[in-house]
Amino acid sequence: MTRYPRRALLASPTAQAQQAAKSLADATDWVDWEEADMVVALGGDGFMLQTLHRMLERRKPPVPVFGMNLGTVGFLMNEWQLHGLNARLDMARPFKVTPLQCTITGTDGRIHVLPAINEVSLLRETRQTAKLEVTVNNRVVLPELACDGILVATPAGSTAYNFSAQGPILPLGSNLLALTPISPFRPRRWRGAILPEKARITIRAIHTEKRPVSAVADQREIRDVASVDVCIDRARELTLLFDPEHALDDRITMEQFIA
């Protein structure tokens, strides 16, 4: 008996992914993703993020996702292969990914609550440097950070934007978050912090009328932000499936040694 009898197939709108989906049309009796026990996603890392956000929006609890790379990097994906899919799914290893929850308060007082699987970032909207107050567990740790922005990254997202901003790579299962500035100007020597995942982080924009700031949760942006509260969301854990030889935790570790 197969591990996941009801399977859904989702594909990126790119020509390559759509052609692959047609090739897999007869591989099994696909069902709608809302009714599936698991999902096969064809595309790149961006499409995987979109698929994981779909899992968070499902009427039913999230189900595991097995991705096959038909994009650029494919860090969160397995290798694309046309044949042997059923056997691969039966042998696939699960990895848990815990998203962030960010509560964004706009300068107009409106509140937006969004999930983020990779990172939550605050970014300056104009040529004016952003000025931010950073609070951790109700304690102000940076009264004024002058920068292009700042981000909070999960271990799964630490190799993405966070790493490009010179942030640390966090091993999966480390129960840590990365707090990383983007082009910091003052304090000049502050290059970020590694925090326990239980930490509650609040970032408040200063002088928003002159220095407007936007907040981005993965791929969704809210402009003209007054403050953002970020915390881990254990209640909405997600599962990625990988081939046995494709160890995501090992890939994240080895990223630290790539020149």
Instruction: Please report the DSSP string for 164-213 in residue order.
Output: HTTPPP--TTS-EEEEEEES--BSTT---EEEETT--EEEEESSTTTS-E
Q: What is the pLDDT of residues 21-43, one digit of tens each?
A: 999 998 889 999 999 999 999 99
Residue 73: pLDDT above 80? no
pLDDT at 27: 82
Model confidence band, residue 259 (pLDDT cutoffs 50, 70, 90)? low
Find the mean pLDDT for residues 1-7.
Answer: 82
What type of residue is 197?
A: E
CA angle 64, 157, 202 (to 5 degrees): 115
Q: Which of 126, 105, 137, 90 is nearest to 225 (CA)?
A: 105
pTM of the model: 0.88
**Residue 12: what are its φ and ψ, rounded to 5°?**
-60, 155
Residue 132: pLDDT above 70? yes
pLDDT at 72: 83
pLDDT at 163: 92
pLDDT at 164: 92
Q: What is the pLDDT of residues 147-198, one digit of tens each?
A: 999 999 999 899 889 999 999 999 888 899 999 999 999 998 899 999 999 9
pLDDT at 257: 73
Instruction: For residue 45, indicate whether it is catalytic.
Output: yes
Residues in the chain: 259
Q: How far apart are CA 229 and CA 210, in angstroms?
A: 22
Model confidence band, residue 71 (pLDDT cutoffs 50, 70, 90)? confident
Q: Which of 215, 229, 202 is nearest to 134 (CA)?
A: 202
The answer to whether the beta carbons of residues 42 and 21 sit under 8 Å apart is yes
Cis peptide upstream of residue 168 (ω within 30 degrees of 0): no
Q: What is the pLDDT of residues 218-234, one digit of tens each?
A: 989 999 999 999 999 99
What lies within 8 Å, CB to CB, of 250 at 6+ separation is: none
> pLDDT higher for 73 or 224?
224
> pLDDT higher for 20 or 59?
20
Q: How far apart are CA 115 and CA 243, in angstroms?
A: 27
Antiparallel, parallel or unpaired: β 111-116 and 100-106: antiparallel
Q: Which of 37, 45, 224, 229 is catalytic?
A: 45
Average pLDDT of the chain is 93
Quote the DSSP letter at residue 45. Answer: H
Tokens found for residue 121: 């970032």
Tokens found for residue 166: 């010179």
* CATH code for the domain defined by 100-235: 2.60.200.30
The answer to whether the beta carbons of residues 226 and 106 sit under 8 Å apart is yes
Residue 258: pLDDT above 80? no
What lies within 8 Å, CB to CB, of 182 at 6+ separation is: 121, 123, 147, 148, 149, 150, 151, 165
Find the mean pLDDT for residues 187-212.
Answer: 95
Residue 247: pLDDT above 80? no
Which contiguous run of DSSP H or E holds residue 50?
Answer: helix 45-57
Residue 246: pLDDT above 70? no
Percent of the chain with pLDDT over 90: 80
Superfamily, domain 7-98+237-257: Probable inorganic polyphosphate/atp-NAD kinase; domain 1 (3.40.50.10330)
* Largest CA-CA distance found in the chain, in angstroms, rounded: 62
Find the mean pLDDT for residues 102-126.
Answer: 97
Residues belonging to the binding site for NAD(+) are: 45-46, 118-119, 148, 156, 159-164
> In the chain, what are the domain boundaries?
7-98+237-257, 100-235
What type of residue is 153?
A: A
